[in-house]
Amino acid sequence: MPELPEVETTVRALRPHLNGRRVVRTRLYRPDLRWPIPAEIGALNDVAFVQMDRRAKYLLMQLEGGTAIWHLGMTGNLRVIDAATPLRAHDHVDMELDNGKVLRFHDPRRFGALLWQPEGATHPLLSALGPEPLGDAFTARWLFDRSRGRTMAVKPFLMDQATVVGVGNIYANEALFEAGIHPARAAGRVSLARYTLLVERIRSVLARAIAVGGTTLKDFSSPDGFAGYFVQELKVYGRAGEPCVQCGRTLKGSMLGHRQTVWCPGCQK
């Protein structure tokens, strides 16, 4: 599933194609994706595009009167293409633009979503989210205070969207390795000093991944069709049984919080 860097890559790629444009017509080729598509979406005609932003793994397409909320799910993809481009199987939504282009959503598995947030409101899916990992509100003190007394392992603690948004499985593995923290250590047993280092590593890992277009593993590709290259920099994720890049010991792997987890028994404590 696309994680924060992949979604951020999509947002940045789409902005130049949408800035200054109007959505002149919306075509829904099915009534639902993961959830029913709200009627307000189908009624979007001749409205100005305002801004494309991201909150967690949601793409927020701000328009006159409200915001279209996109989620890519596992296989979703948004591209701006010529309006005359023939539909393919699994093309579900077109937003026709005033320049002869169309914003098209393609999603074979239909785990993606398209929802509506009226102007001045906050959608329930966004209301309980934690701070952005690259924002000022995400600090070591926030993690430390929130983790006190928690016996939950630190990796699923980081992946809890109420703790911090967008630190998915790939980047949690990588950041914990770079911070030298064992993923199964209880969140409440991580010191403030170690959380300080972990916050730095989370920011660094995500920033590096965004810079190279994310980590394309299977179904995701950016709107320009190119793969992300951070997969070439992965130090632990997907490398169980291989030697550690730092100490040479064999990396271990197991399921933690129902997600594949890889760590170094020598470097992570």
175 CB contacts (<8 Å, ≥6 apart)? 158, 167, 198, 201, 202, 204, 205
Question: Does 34 count as an annotated binding residue?
Answer: no
Q: Which of 197, 209, 178, 181 is nearest to 12 (CA)?
A: 209
Residue 208 appears among annotated catalytic residues:
no
Residue 2 appears among annotated catalytic residues:
yes
57 CB contacts (<8 Å, ≥6 apart)? 2, 3, 4, 7, 71, 72, 165, 166, 168
Measured CA to CA, the distance from residue 258 to residue 179 in angstroms comes to: 22
Cα atoms in the 13 Å half-sphere on the side-chain side of 21: 24
Question: Phi/psi at 242 (nearest 5 deg)?
Answer: -95, 165
Residue 131 appears among annotated catalytic residues:
no
Number of Cβ within a 10 Å radius of residue 130: 19
Question: Does 150 count as an annotated binding residue?
Answer: yes
Instruction: Name residue 143's amino acid.
Output: L
Question: Does 239 count as an annotated binding residue?
Answer: no
Question: Phi/psi at 54 (nearest 5 deg)?
Answer: -135, 140
Residue 259 appears among annotated catalytic residues:
yes
Instruction: Please pick, among 57, 101, 146, 239, the residue that the annotation labels catalytic.
Output: 57
In the annotated binding site for DNA, the residues are 90, 109, 150
In the annotated binding site, the residues are 90, 109, 150
**Which positions are annotated as active-site residues?**
2-3, 57, 259
